[in-house]
Structure 1
Amino acid sequence: MLGTVPLSSVYAFTIPYADTTAEHIPDSVQQEIIPFEGQDQTWQNGSDRRSESVLQTKYFTGSFMLDANYNYSFNNPIDNTVVGSTALARHNEVNIMYVGFGGDFNYKNARGRVMTQFGNRAIVVPRNDYSPYRGQYQLNDALRYLSEAYAGYHFVIGKVPVNVDAGLFMSYVGLNSYYQAENWEYQASFTSDNTPWFFNGMRVQIFPSTKLKIEPWIINGWQSYGKFNSMPGVGANITWCPTENIKLLTNDYYGTDAAMIPDRKRFHSDNSFLLRYYNRPASKGISRMAFSLTGDLGFEKGGGVNGFSNSDPSKGPAQYFLSAMFYSRIWFHQNKFAWTIGGGLMTNPGRYLVLYPTGDASPLPDPNNPTKTEGTHPFSANPGDQFKGWDCSTNLDWMPNQSLTVRMEFVHRQANVPYFAGHGGVTSPTGYTTTPLPAGWAPDLVKTENKIIFAVLFRL
């Protein structure tokens, strides 16, 4: 979900993220197009806000990130478990949600990037991929400690830079970045939190002008380490920044991502518009103002479901995804402080993209149905099952330098069906996985959730 490609990912050599002046570019490539040359993109939602990398050498640019949070849900679940979120895992505890280190390697146009992944996200995100249940070798365990791992080559065709990469890379779908330090909000709205955070496959990045990127993909599937069926997923990102104050992007995907249902095809289109409409970086009052608007449309058709239509019962019920989110951000005091407010909504009949709430303490999913959620009380995702949700949030950020963000955020989320963890929790009557489940017990799910998040985000 990275909205912008770091410049260190564009070239086989590495240059500072927002410093695209000619003196930083080797003479041998002075004539090629420099993507987004001269544009300040550090203000964008879902993009790296640093103006330079401090861990830069000739052949390697290092990176270190740490995301620690304290989350308090007013539902106060007894098992301290958060459900329906990839940003959070625990309630009323200080958590290390993400720790990653690695960076970009380059040598004579050969390029590679590796970022490790430790903390709760190494459990939360792979848990939502059921492709490892097809076949052997526990793909989710083998890859859960990597957030990015790819290698490729930087070509120059005429003056056009082209990168060809293979491996595990971040998704752009949903606008928000996988790395919280790049986002305006901590708890992503439904639009981003229910769309993929990573892809596994190949991509080609083409920069036909200084303002345009075209990036086709051939991948295993929708946030899946492996494939659910024989057909790979295909898609593309197009990003256009006509000026440094405007960004437009579209991400489109087509694939077969229902286990053991190869006739069911998925299409998804994700589209965002970002505008910075005020910029006075030296001001000690309001120094910058911007907003982002994202809208998604998708559907599944075939294999017992029928896209947007309920008109033909023989083809099954409608199964689609519609969502939108809007965020407004104001920076103060030379961009050292910021206030963000926004939210979004989603409707998803069939629940095929809903983050399933964790089940109880029972072990594995049904071996005859790899898409079934864990536990004895799985959250149903049958054709026609309705799900609608909406959320809003506001936060204050303190950013004393480009590497540190301290954030306080309030979030309200609501669904039309019981979905969030209530006071009884989702694990057992005591909240412990070691407690046997008595007859009649069920996870306590409720329709609303209010929470306060305190986060410290560090990045080098």
Structure 2
Amino acid sequence: MNYQLTLGLALTAATVTTNTLAQTTSATDTAQVVTPQVAPAETTPNPLTFYGFVDGYYGYDFKHAATQDRPGFLYSHDRQNEFTVNNAILGMRYDNGQVRGALGLHAGSYVTANYAAEDQVFKHLYEAYAGFRPFEKAWLDAGIFTSHIGFESAISKDNWTLTRSLMAENSPYYEAGVRFTYEVDPKLTLTGLVLNGWQNIRENNQKKAIGTQIQWKPTDKLLVNSSTFYGNEQPQDLARRRRYFHDFYATYAATDRLSLAVVFDVGKQERAERGGKDDTWHTGAAFVRYKLTDKWSTTLRGEYYNADRGVLISSISPAANDADFKVHAASLNLDYAPASNVVVRIEGRGFRSPQPFLTDRNNQTTDNYGNITSSIAISF
């Protein structure tokens, strides 16, 4: 009896031990099964990208003639008392590191004013060029591209002020030709160009123009630019008048909130009369931009423009008795950026001259003029 009890207890204990070991082994085996993780495949950036920009605006003029057109020396945001679009751009760019190109189309009041002399086939081309690297750190592009001249561009959202300075309005926004760019080092870039001319896609004579650009960025806070232009910009049936031009600007980020910029342009064009003094013009501007908060900023601008006989700003071929053009201007900008790709802006601007230079609503000449411009712009 005792033997049977002892044997039963032993068998029971052995069974329990065996089941326990079986469960322990099973759990251990399951824990050791590791599902291999597949490393994410490396993705190459798409060389083809798309972009767009829309700038809708409304402006109102004081003491200007009762028309929707602003003065003839203003080309961007050049309509008043009218809701309209300054520039709407849609385009694509391709860059695989060795080959690049771009095609962009645009329309708006900016296009109507700036491309009035261009053929209908070309006036809606914002950019259209193809290029490649002839060797490392260099690009060679041919076609239509943005100008190598100036601190301000056709895309208002990227500029410190809503409207363009007088110097920007009366120097090229775009060019057509061949462009060679060489990056000497990350701080210095050199560019040389052969162009059809001074902001013209189609050639207007049998001559070509040349241009240069030097961009130097010695620190993250300072950028210095020097651009030049040389060429005869008279139509084929007019006497040659060679034009020489230099654009200089520098930007400086004084603090995280305060940024400064100075711009100075000077140009000279030959007179048709033999022995006559060349027509010269010079213009300057200073900008102070301050970031009020993460979404609010303001910019103050002061500028002047002096042109003998109104050369270039009034006429590319001034007559001997044409009046000089001398104007000072100032503007104040307030910007609100609810998102990184949207900006809402309002700007007040005033002009004054030592002599009458415009006709007001009462058909009287006046030596001063002012306007207000507002805009909502988005880019993608």
Give the TM-score, by structure 2 length: 0.83
Spell out, residue by residue over 1:111-151, the C-alpha distance to the aligned partner (whole angstroms, 9 max, x if none).
11112111111211012x4xxxxxxxxx4322111111111
Is 2:332 aligned against 1:345? no
Corresponding residue to 1:92 among 75, 81, 87 = 81
Other structure's SS at 1:121 match:
helix
Is 2:273 aligned against 1:296? no
Aligned residues: 336
Give the C-alpha shift of residue 74 in structure 1: 1.5
Which structure has more relative contact order (CA 8 Å, sep 6+)? It is 1
The AA in structure 2 aligned to 1:325 is A
Corresponding residue to 2:94 among 105, 128, 148 = 105
Aligned partners of 2:328 and 2:352 also within 8 Å: yes
Corresponding residue to 1:448 among 364, 368, 373 = 368
Give the C-alpha shift of residue 219 in structure 1: 0.1
Corresponding residue to 2:107 among 118, 128, 135 = 118
Query: CA separation of 1:156/1:348 partners in 2, compared to 1, >3 Å: closer, same or farther?
Result: same
Identify the residue that residue 55 of structure 2 maps to in structure 1: 67
Identify the residue that residue 13 of structure 2 maps to in structure 1: none
| Structure holding more strand per residue | 2
> How many angstroms apart in 1 are the aligned matches of 2:119 and 2:350?
31
> How many angstroms apart in 1 are the aligned matches of 2:262 and 2:96?
39
> How many angstroms apart in 2 are the aligned matches of 1:250 and 1:446?
36
Aligned partners of 1:394 and 1:409 also within 8 Å: yes
Query: CA separation of 1:90/1:444 partners in 2, compared to 1, >3 Å: closer, same or farther?
Result: farther
Aligned partners of 2:162 and 2:346 also within 8 Å: no
Corresponding residue to 2:334 among 377, 396, 414 = 396
Corresponding residue to 1:333 among 268, 271, 293 = 293
Corresponding residue to 2:319 among 378, 382, 405 = 382
The AA in structure 2 aligned to 1:86 is Y
Other structure's SS at 1:225 match:
coil
Is 2:235 aligned against 1:271? no
The AA in structure 2 aligned to 1:290 is S
Query: CA separation of 1:172/1:391 partners in 2, compared to 1, >3 Å: closer, same or farther?
Result: farther
Give the C-alpha shift of residue 220 in structure 1: 0.5
Identify the residue that residue 169 of structure 2 maps to in structure 1: 193
Give the C-alpha shift of residue 263 in structure 1: 3.0
Identify the residue that residue 229 of structure 1 maps to in structure 2: 205
The AA in structure 1 aligned to 2:171 is T
Query: CA separation of 1:186/1:303 partners in 2, compared to 1, >3 Å: closer, same or farther?
Result: same
> How many angstroms apart in 1 are the aligned matches of 2:365 and 2:127?
34
Name whichever of 269-278 and 344-353 sits farther off: 344-353
Other structure's SS at 1:105 match:
strand
Identify the residue that residue 379 of structure 2 maps to in structure 1: 459
Give the C-alpha shift of residue 444 in structure 1: 6.4
Aligned partners of 1:230 and 1:262 also within 8 Å: no
Aligned partners of 1:293 and 1:325 also within 8 Å: yes
Give the C-alpha shift of residue 342 in structure 1: 1.2
Structure showing greater Rg:
2
Give the TM-score, by structure 1 length: 0.69
Q: Aligned ranges for residues 11-26 of structure 1 at < 5 Å?
A: none
Query: CA separation of 1:416/1:116 partners in 2, compared to 1, >3 Å: closer, same or farther?
Result: farther
> How many angstroms apart in 2 are the aligned matches of 1:172 and 1:416?
32
> How many angstroms apart in 1 are the aligned matches of 2:84 and 2:355?
28
Identify the residue that residue 11 of structure 1 maps to in structure 2: none
Give the C-alpha shift of residue 392 in structure 1: 0.5
Spell out, residue by residue over 1:238-294, the C-alpha distance to the aligned partner (whole angstroms, 9 max, x if none).
100011100000000100012234531100000011111102xxxxxxxx1111001
> How many angstroms apart in 1 are the aligned matches of 2:179 and 2:166?
26
Query: CA separation of 1:329/1:114 partners in 2, compared to 1, >3 Å: closer, same or farther?
Result: same
Query: CA separation of 1:420/1:176 partners in 2, compared to 1, >3 Å: closer, same or farther?
Result: farther
* Structure 1 unpaired stretches of 5+: 1-23, 27-56, 130-138, 280-287, 305-313, 357-370, 373-380, 425-442
The AA in structure 2 aligned to 1:190 is L
* Structure 2 unpaired stretches of 5+: 1-41
Other structure's SS at 2:215 match:
strand
Name whichever of 295-304 and 409-418 sits farther off: 409-418
Identify the residue that residue 316 of structure 1 maps to in structure 2: 276
Aligned partners of 1:82 and 1:421 also within 8 Å: no
Aligned partners of 2:232 and 2:242 also within 8 Å: yes
Aligned partners of 2:76 and 2:109 also within 8 Å: no
> How many angstroms apart in 1 are the aligned matches of 2:154 and 2:284?
18
Identify the residue that residue 131 of structure 2 maps to in structure 1: 152
Other structure's SS at 1:242 match:
coil
| Structure holding more helix per residue | 2
> How many angstroms apart in 2 are the aligned matches of 1:265 and 1:384?
20
Q: Aligned ranges for residues 115-264 of structure 1 at < 5 Å?
A: 115-127=104-116, 129=117, 139-157=118-136, 161-259=137-235, 260-264=237-241
> How many angstroms apart in 1 are the aligned matches of 2:364 and 2:120?
29
Aligned partners of 1:317 and 1:383 also within 8 Å: no
Aligned partners of 2:64 and 2:369 also within 8 Å: no
